[in-house]
Amino acid sequence: MTRLVLGTLVGLAVAGAPVAAADPLPVPTVALVVKDDPVPPIDPKKRFFKFRSGTRLQPTNRIVPPPVGSAGDPTMFGATLTVSNVGGDPQTVTIDLPAARWKVIGTATLLKGYQFHDDDVSDGPVFRVFVKPDKLFVVGGRTNWTYVLSATPQGGVAVRFDLGTGVAWCSEAPAKTPATIYDTPAKFVGVKGSIPAVCAP
């Protein structure tokens, strides 16, 4: 994923030149849940997604909100969420989280993180995001959430989260066992504590 960032804004590129997204850092999955409605007539409003990561106990690859005004400031450059499966039929969904819906938590000099808020939770696809020191939380779903569980089993689900072009994190979790309960057309639940050795392309 790439975004156009003018060098005159952040001093990172020649004006008009594309800036590559940051290399993602692997972080652990604290919670990863995907729900769908597999029974016709399918109701997409029943779709649900939740991802949570925490790095307080990690020696490296910590979740650190980037400085205000940097290339990772989502209030300036937005963010993207990418969800893909790693075991079943190939499926990848990328969702843009526009800058207009982000706000700073705290101040530029005393930054406590960033928050994404969508007032219209009736259709999704993402309702809330919090990026705080050592914490990343994403919740969404409903009609505009297009990652579905019809191609089961998923085997595992991978998540990538980019803040602008400055910061990115990734995680990946296999399904809890037994798969007959936790990897079905109605629900996927990932194993808590899972962390990839490297981020998938």
Tens-place pLDDT, residues 39-79: 889 999 999 999 999 999 988 899 999 999 999 999 999 99
Q: Is residue 17 part of a domain?
A: no
Contact assessment for residue 92 and residue 159, using Cβ atoms and an 8 Å cutoff: no
Which one, of 155, 38, 34, 165, lies nearest residue 90 by Cα? 155
Q: Is residue 199 part of a domain?
A: no
Threshold 0.95, pTM exceeds: no
Contact assessment for residue 175 and residue 186, using Cβ atoms and an 8 Å cutoff: no
- Domain with 156 in it: 22-189
User: Which residues of the chain fall below pLDDT 50?
Assistant: 1-18
Peptide bond before residue 59 is cis, with ω within 30 degrees of 0 = no
Q: Is residue 149 part of a domain?
A: yes
Q: Is residue 12 part of a domain?
A: no
Q: Is residue 7 part of a domain?
A: no
In the beta sheet, which residues pair with residue 119? none
Q: Is residue 69 part of a domain?
A: yes
Predicted local distance difference test score (pLDDT) of residue 35: 97
In Å, how far from its chain's centre is CA 186? Answer: 21
- What is the count of structural domains for the chain? 1
Q: Is residue 90 part of a domain?
A: yes
Q: Is residue 14 part of a domain?
A: no
Contact assessment for residue 91 and residue 78, using Cβ atoms and an 8 Å cutoff: no
